[in-house]
């Protein structure tokens, strides 16, 4: 499986000063890149006065560009001075250097998804049954969920959410399949993700509805617990009976 994962990353540093009469001067430097190959990385250095950008250096352009009267004058002067040479070193020394650290510590990490397949109530009224496939607690964001029916991919009557942010670096996604059951068919949910050597495929067992499976699981747990308590009671009774035995001397 080939993954063309696209990232848009911006690492920024902002310096800001404000005078007593309310004027604000800011400088924002940031790096933009879309992959860990860094072939399209850009270094951008912007000078802003009272929310108006006066001058900018972009590593792709290769020189300063002014946008206001004072910005144009500064750009002409800086392009002839040592400022331009300093800016040209920042793409390699600042952007690409820190981007490599960023990718190796965060973006290259993979966490496998947990997958759960369950039944639900169809909402459209066109079909008698619905299955819900949930993939959760995975990283990075990109993931593919596919429904299979008797070995063939199902594309109709399928609805899926976007990748949802959990707020803790992990993601989740929900996909629903509405269908009319057929005897002997095999339905499964297949999940593909960068963290997996091979896709996870969860097969649906239509022999029992989800509610009945839960009842059986609860009943089985209760039976096991009852047997354990009964066995513990018998052991306790036997020990107590043995400890309370009285010896009577023979005359």
What CATH number is given to the structural domain containing 145? 2.60.40.10
Same domain, 151 and 99: no
Same domain, 81 and 144: no
Number of domains in the chain: 2
> Is 57 inside any structural domain?
yes
> Is 218 inside any structural domain?
no
CA distances from 10 to 29, 95, 154 (A): 10, 10, 38
pLDDT number for residue 103: 74
pLDDT tops 60 at residue 219: no
pLDDT number for residue 73: 95
Can you name the residues that pair with 32 across neighbouring β-strands? 10, 42
What CATH number is given to the structural domain containing 24? 3.10.320.10
For residue 188, what are the domain limits? 114-203
Rounded Cα gap, residues 138 and 117, in angstroms = 16
| Mean per-residue pLDDT, 214-227 | 58
- Rg (alpha carbons) of the chain, rounded to whole number: 33
| Mean per-residue pLDDT, 201-212 | 73
Q: What is the pLDDT of residues 115-166, one digit of tens each?
A: 999 998 887 677 789 999 999 999 988 999 999 999 999 989 999 999 999 8
Nearest residue to 31 via CA among 102, 95, 101, 90: 95
> Is 53 inside any structural domain?
yes
End-to-end CA distance of the chain: 91
> Is 251 inside any structural domain?
no
Same domain, 69 and 142: no
Nearest residue to 193 via CA among 142, 147, 153: 142
For the entire predicted model, the pTM comes to: 0.47
């Amino acid at each position: 499986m080939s993954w063309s994962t696209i990232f848009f990353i911006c690492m920024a540093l902002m310096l800001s000063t404000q005078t007593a009469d309310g004027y604000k001067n800011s400088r924002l430097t940031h790096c933009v890149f879309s992959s860990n190959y860094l072939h399209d990385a850009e270094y951008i250095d912007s000078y802003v006065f009272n929310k108006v950008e006066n001058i900018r250096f972009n590593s792709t352009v290769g020189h300063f560009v002014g946008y206001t009267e004072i910005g144009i004058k500064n750009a002409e002067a800086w392009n002839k001075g040592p400022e331009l040479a300093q800016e040209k070193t920042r793409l390699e020394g600042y952007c690409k250097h820190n981007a490599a650290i960023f990718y190796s510590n965060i973006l290259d990490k993979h966490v496998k998804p947990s997958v759960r397949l369950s039944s639900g109530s169809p909402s459209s009224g066109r079909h008698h049954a619905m299955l819900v496939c949930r993939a959760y607690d995975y990283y990075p964001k990109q993931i593919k969920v596919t429904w299979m029916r008797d070995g063939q991919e199902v594309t109709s009557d399928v609805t899926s959410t976007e990748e949802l942010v959990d707020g803790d670096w992990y993601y989740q996604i929900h996909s629903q399949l509405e269908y009319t059951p057929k005897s002997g068919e095999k339905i499964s949910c297949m999940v593909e993700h960068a963290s997996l050597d091979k896709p996870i495929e969860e097969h649906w067992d239509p022999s029992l509805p989800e509610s009945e499976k839960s009842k059986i699981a609860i009943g089985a747990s209760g039976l096991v617990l009852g047997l354990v308590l009964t066995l513990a009671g018998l052991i306790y009774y036997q020990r107590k009976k043995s400890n309370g035995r009285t010896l009577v001397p023979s005359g």
